Amino acid sequence: MPDSLDGLPMPPLPYVPQMVPRPVDLVKQAYVFAAQNPGVLSYVPCYCGCENNGHVSNVDCFVGSRAPNGAVESWDTHGMT
């Protein structure tokens, strides 16, 4: 699994004192999927309260911002939790 997508590093995993709930490779796969398939995740509503952070759909939990050409410019760390 790549450590970057379009040259942008994958977001660091948040610090958690206990074990990370999912394997790192699985988390990376989810971010890559979200970046490459925003149309799919746009149909999945946020259900954990992150709409208070301006999230409209589940894709916003992974992708923070995109360039005009659609390339990922920044990641949202919410998708890791």
pLDDT given at position 15: 58
CA distance 79 to 14: 10
Taking the C-alpha atoms of residue 80 and residue 61, their distance in angstroms, rounded to an integer, is 9
pLDDT for 1 equals 47
pLDDT in tens, the chain (81 residues): 456 666 767 666 655 555 557 777 888 888 889 999 999 988 988 766 777 778 888 899 889 888 898 888 888 888 877
Instruction: Give the pLDDT of residue 51.
Output: 72
Q: What is the pLDDT of residue 20?
A: 58
What's this model's pTM, rounded to 2 decimal places? 0.75
